[in-house]
Copies of this chain bind each other. A is one copy, B any other.
Amino acid sequence: MTSPNPLLEAFKKAPYLLPGNGKRTVEVLKEALEHIEDQEESDVYGSGKIIEEFQIKMANYLGKESSVFFPSGTMAQQIALRIWCDRKRTKKVAYHPLCHLEIHEEDGLKELHHLEPILLADKDRVIELEDVTELNEDIACLLLELPQREIGGQLPEYKTLEEISAYCRKKGIKLHLDGARLYEILPYYQKSAAEICSLFDSVYISFYKGIGGVAGAILAGGEDFVKESKVWKRRHGGDLISLYPYIISADHYFEKRIGRMQEYFEQAKEAAAAFNDCQGVFTIPEMPVSNMFHVYFQEPKEKVESLMAEIAEETGVAMTGYVKEINETQCSYELSIGDQYGRVPKENLEKAFYLLDEKMKNAKVGS
């Protein structure tokens, strides 16, 4: 078990949190189960009312023919790319250098599926049309992650998406959406999920980011694609006898939060502006396009950890539970807005940002 960490401890004790939808405790599951009848039957290896109805609901929401519930997006997305590659009899796909499959999955795509990803665009920007048209390789599938999480949740222009989609259709390249945070970008694009998904051949969405469920994912697409993905789901060991704890919580928190994405987006813009007003602090993107952004500090990690812990103790407002070192003089963290931000009293929020500005100024003077 991990050693004590003063910032994390301050975060856990703080009554008010800037990020997220609240602590990931057993209460999250209990709340979702409250209105479910005791006698509601489990799904059984992918069959049964509880899973089939949710899959239909999500397919409709995404405007796709069919969908399948997965325990994880890692599993769902590897499988999507594998299916498109098998159909085209190639091993090549393309995605961003900071794609989840490239940096967070222990190379499952390569080790299990032997696919060969081509990395498109520079690390610090989103994929643009030219990155795709200039690609000199015959790929089966292009994966776009909207928003691009590892660079603070950036988005291409909607027109660019339409152009990429049209180009891929013309060239016989399947377009897959990593929509782990799809709901969160609808307010910025002013589009429905189905409108955005109509540009893509397959789509993955998650239920524990903006939605705040326990875990789980949906993979959606055409009927034959989904049917094939169920075979791979079993091969991966994801066709559990019971997935209902995840399905019930996914459905509950989807209903609870899907209507709040506009609010989170507005709050993210407000919070980013407040950070950008502080000495030695800036955000990427400067103006958020979803509920998330990255906060950068022009001070070393240890300094920022201790001043963040102080702010939490002095105001009750925890801005983060961690910061990540970038180099000896800079650090950053990721902020995703959920339910919690709106619960912070305005006065405490203002005081927290005031103190952040003060403490960053003092840190600069002190250094």
Contacts and interface: CB of A to CB of B under 8 A. Distances in A.
B25 A214 contact: no
A25 B40 CA distance: 5
Given A106-B231, A236-B112, A38 B26 contact: yes
Interface string A1-21: 110000000000000000000
Contact of A26 (B36, B71, B231): B36
A19 to B, nearest CB: 15
Interface residues of A, number: 56
B215 A75 contact: no
Nearest to A111: B235
Contact of A237 (B1, B41, B108, B242): B108
Interface string A52-96: 100000000000000000111111101000000000000000000
Given A24-B42, A26-B40, A108-B236, 14 more contacts: A1-B49, A23-B41, A26-B33, A29-B244, A70-B237, A71-B240, A106-B232, A106-B234, A106-B235, A108-B234, A112-B113, A215-B242, A236-B236, A238-B238
10 contacts: A2-B47, A24-B44, A27-B38, A72-B239, A73-B237, A74-B234, A105-B234, A108-B235, A112-B113, A237-B238
